[in-house]
Structure 1
Amino acid sequence: MAETSARPWTRPHDWAEVVLGVVLVLSPIWMDTNNAALWTMIVLGALIAIDGLASLAMPGMVYGEGIQIVLGALAFVSPWVMSYTDFGGAAWTSWIVGGLTVLVGAAALPLANAAHRTAGQH
């Protein structure tokens, strides 16, 4: 399993992160938001997707999963911090995407650690 997880572009956890980021970026297209929600969702979604792409390209980069967990937590708290809880669709999207991003990042940590150790042995 460690060899598979060490190959670039093969880890499903990182692909899930990319998809979650893209969903957060695009969701303001089909739901009501205010300016704060719009830009928060676009910026955090883009950062989540970019982090996922970086983790896919460099599977031994352990700190990418840590960044993912932080970005997911930021997405989760953003409806309260940026005051868009009144926009139900945007708030729920942020809560769900943020929570899933944290969970996927935590689940990917063992894979990233294994890939990092494998890369160090070559």
Structure 2
Amino acid sequence: MSDTSTTRAWTRWQDWAEVLFGVVAVLSPLWLTTTNTITWTMIVLGALIALDGLFSLAMPGVVLGEYVQIVLGVLMFISPWVMSFTDMKGAMWSAFIIGALTAIAGAVALPAANTAHQGMAGQH
């Protein structure tokens, strides 16, 4: 018997954390010193992270959402190098921390998503 907290929608803490990380990224240009590039990087990646978290919350059995979360976390983590803002320490560290936490939460959520997926596959 599976843990119902992993199979019920809107209950996984990992996905709620992902939504929070995405919202923080979207709002971070309000308190960080940024450029246009940094602002749009944080807004776009943050919005995608938050939307993926909402998708994973609504559909806990779709394992792909957790892999997307990990990829988005890695993209956020490497964004200071890719978008050339390693000289902006606040934005750089925010991207590192948000990216790492997003990827970790996705990796931690994978077993729960697999359990939910298997539980849903057994229901016909």
| Aligned: 1:114 with 2:112 | no
Count of aligned positions? 122
**In the alignment, is the contact (CA less than 8 A) between 1:3 and 1:118 conserved in 2?**
no
TM-score (norm: length of structure 2): 0.96
- Equivalent in the alignment of 1:64: 65
CA distance in 2, matches of 1:4, 1:99: 24
- Equivalent in the alignment of 1:90: 91
List runs of 5+ in structure 2 lacking aligned partners: none
C-alpha distance after superposition, 1:7-48 (max 9, x if no partner) = 000000000000000000100101101111110000000000
| Aligned: 1:42 with 2:59 | no
Q: Tell me how large the CA RMSD over aligned residues is.
A: 0.7
List runs of 5+ in structure 1 lacking aligned partners: none
State the 1:86 CA deviation. Answer: 1.1
TM-score (norm: length of structure 1): 0.98
Provide the identity percentage: 60
- Equivalent in the alignment of 1:52: 53
